[in-house]
Structure 1
Amino acid sequence: MNEFTKIIKLLNDTGILGVLIFALVGWFTRINPALKTKIAANKSAGQREVLSIVDQLAASWVHKLSTNYEMPGEEKRERAIAGVISQLKGWGHNVDPVLVAAAIEKTYQLMSGTNTKAQTKQDEYNAALADTEQAFADKQAQLDKQAQLDKQAATVPAEPAPLNVPENTATTEGDAK
């Protein structure tokens, strides 16, 4: 212990102890918090970059799948989410699927707010599909009606039997004489 106090006394006499204490206080009050802030800023900048990439990929997938008119909307959404997640994993990013789904929905909402070519084509496709289905339903109804008439015609005799009118019946106005 005696040697330890001698070293402390020597450092104090030369001023090195004061410099060391000043450096330690400076480290814990100024430099260390600044480094932590810098690390946090770099981390959030990286997160912003990844979110920007997610938005761009979401836009790409939504626009790509919007031209696939026969596919239902829910299947389009699932494919877009899977596609974005697989691309991000390929680049080494692990992003929560809920976040990707939100980006897909945001892109879809932005896209549906404007009248795009894909929406116009989708509307035309839907109208043509509805017309085709209506024409098919009308044709089916016509065929059903014809089949019912044919069935009635088959059950009704071709030449109806004459009426059995008694001979002592008086004729009325308008009857043939």
Structure 2
Amino acid sequence: MKTKLTLLLTATLLFFGGTFISSAQTDTRFGAMVAYGTEIENIGIGVNAEFPIMENLTISPGFIYYLPKDEAGIDIKWWELNGNANYYFLNDESFGFYGIAGLNYTNVKIDFDGTGFGGTSMESSDGRFGLNLGAGANFNIGSSITPFAEAKYVIIDGSQLVIGAGIKFNL
């Protein structure tokens, strides 16, 4: 009896595991994006991916590097690393709408060239963890390229709204 139960359980796991793997392989996407952050008030470039884990649910890691900026002799470098879960409320042949919830790590580095203040230079960097909440949409155009747009609010000390758009390549 125990052997039959083990065999049945193994067969069930193989069936569902094979279905999950074949589904995940057809819906995996990698992409590139342009973003704007309201706290840094600058444009960034980024990469992201989508890995299906269940029907209507994907894991979406991403990275955004904001272009360095110089304000009154202070150089600011800012980047963020994201690990999101995207839940698809609507996903048909032409349009996919999803909610975003996840974790964020933001790193800010500031360099101060003190040429006007006695020649003293200073450098400081800080990294913080936060939460992402937002929404996005995929626009299925019938090819292996999928345009998308997202808006998320990063809840962190120095919170910011990040608006982004780009393309994902279906694998």
TM-score normalized by structure 2?
Answer: 0.24
Please say which structure displays the higher CA radius of gyration.
1
TM-score normalized by structure 1?
Answer: 0.24
Would you tell me which structure has more helix in proportion to its own residues? 1
